[in-house]
Amino acid sequence: MSDYGRRIVVDADFGTALQALHDALDEEQMQVLASVDLRDHFRHESAHDFRKYTLIQAWSRDLAYKALRHNLDTGAMLTTTFAVYELADGETAVTAAEPWAAVSGDAGWREGSPELCTIADSESDRVARVLGRLQHRRLELTASEPDRVFDAARL
């Protein structure tokens, strides 16, 4: 866990990690609503070069529907943002914002909104499983690249 959400490092290049994230989201029935290529954006909007960095906004449609039927004000909290960016050593970091972070840690909210609390916890569990799938895939990727395994073992 980082100050900005859950963070893992995947021993894979950016493109492979980004595809693995999309696959893991699909497997957890999370739908991608938006994808923003920040490198491309900075290059075109301000002529700045930047590392490969993509923001993915995803949600669980079924949980979103339940939450909105319960309280329309929950709309702003329904998506989870994933940041995927390349690291200098060829690995890729994936950070996920904590779903429903604005209220999920509030004991009063949890006590007063048990239905929404269940939804928030379910979404948080899905995000944890997505990151877990990425870590599992990291092992599969590493196992298929023995030179990288050897290099990692030396570090």
**Is 149 domain-assigned?**
no
- Work out the average pLDDT over 69-75: 93
On the question of pLDDT at 85 being above 50, the answer is yes
Nearest-angstrom CA–CA distance, 29 and 23: 10
Residues of the domain holding 15: 6-142
Residue 153 lies in a domain: no
Total domains in the fold of the chain: 1
For 63-90, letters b (16+ CB in 10 Å) and e give: bbebbeeeeeebeebbbbbbbbbbeeee
Q: Are 13 and 92 in contact (CB under 8 A)?
A: yes
CATH of the domain at 39: 3.30.310.70
Q: Does 140 have pLDDT greater than 70?
A: no
Tens of pLDDT, residue by residue over 11-46, are 999 999 999 999 999 999 999 999 999 888 888 888
- Residue among 117, 137, 155 at smallest CA distance from 20: 137
Tokens at 58, concatenated: 């995803």
Residue 150, domain member (yes or no): no
Within-domain flag for 37: yes
- In a domain, residue 53? The reply is yes
pLDDT at 102: 82
Please indicate, yes or no, if residue 1 is contained in any of the structural domains: no
The pTM is what?
0.82
Measured distance CA(152)–CA(142) in Å, rounded: 9
pLDDT tier for residue 110 given thresholds of 50, 70 and 90: confident
DSSP structure class, residue 75: G
Mean pLDDT of 98-110: 86
Is 63 a member of any domain? yes
